[in-house]
Amino acid sequence: MPIPANSPLPNAFRLVRQILSTSTASEGLTTKELVREALTLCQSENPSPSPSPSPSQGDSSSTSSVISQSPIEPSLASLKGKGKNVVVGKKEKGVNVLPDGHPFISTSFLKSRILAVLQSQDLLLKSPRKSSSSSSSSTPSTPSGSGSSSSGGSSSSNSSSGKPTFVWKISSPRQSNLSTSQWDFPNHWDRLIQGVSPGQLSAEYTSNKIARQKEERERGLDSGKLRRTEKEIWDWQGRKDGITTTLERLHLNKRRAEARPKKERNRIERYESLFGGVKDEARERLGQAA
């Protein structure tokens, strides 16, 4: 099911893939660096004078001057004797750095509707940046070569404040060799860019992922690397008669409960060695008689 034709999502997905795939940063790019590179690409693709800020946004310099002149929070003297239920003025909204008509719309839209969707479908990997030294040594850059100094400053400020800085990069999930077909992640990207609904692709990818996980678990159980749960043992078709589970041995004391599995296995081995040979001889006699 395709999404509406006027939706900015396909172009936004294309832009994220283009920026991250052409970036030389080994660790990835932060959200701010993504926005900065997107603005650079937008200006290079559409060479035109910078658009004047909309009336709703206002001038950034005038906004900053107004905020500096009028304090947001009242002084302590004015709050004295007011009690705890004092309404403090709300902070002013930030200026949207993205121009009108940009696929990212805003930084908030980029985080919640684009990056979050790509991360939920294992197309992007979000990880914390290791340290300020490594981030300064590997300053992110794209063929446009913009935003190197400012990105280093933002990462250093975040590291000095103690807040972790997260970076985004295109992920390549490991898929083991199973009978279930592997998921084609490049085709997944292409279908998103072509306008296929992210919900439809998420449902298809989730069903494939569950099938592969189920097959991997069955392979681990057959090889002995994993242990079956009580319910899986009860439902297991290959379960031999006479083998009890932990829940079926709760009425026994500790010593008998620990010795019961070995006792049951020895009993089955003796039964198979005794009656297995008799059955083989009977089959041979029937074959000779026929």
pTM: 0.58
Q: Decide if 12 contacts 110 (C-beta within 8 A).
A: yes
Secondary structure letter of residue 158 according to DSSP: H
Do 258 and 152 lie in one domain? The reply is: no
Which structural domain range is residue 257 located in?
Answer: 247-289
Structure confidence by residue, pLDDT tens digits, 177-220:
788 888 999 999 999 999 999 999 999 999 999 999 888 888 88
Q: Which segments of 46-146 does DSSP mark as H helices, in order? A: 60-69, 76-79, 107-109, 116-120, 132-137
The Cα 81–Cα 231 span in angstroms is 64
Residue 214 within a domain: no
Do 40 and 170 lie in one domain? The reply is: yes
> Is 53's pLDDT higher than 50?
no
Cα dihedral 262, 267, 273, 277 in deg (nearest 10): -150
The Cα 255–Cα 269 span in angstroms is 22
Q: Give the residue, 237 or 78, on which the prediction is more confident.
A: 237
Do 168 and 283 lie in one domain? The reply is: no
> Is 76's pLDDT higher than 70?
no
Left if phi > 0, otherwise alpha if psi is -120 to 50, otherwise beta: which for 81? left
Helices (H) then strands (E): counts for the chain: 12, 2
Domain end residue (candidates: 122, 154, 174):
174
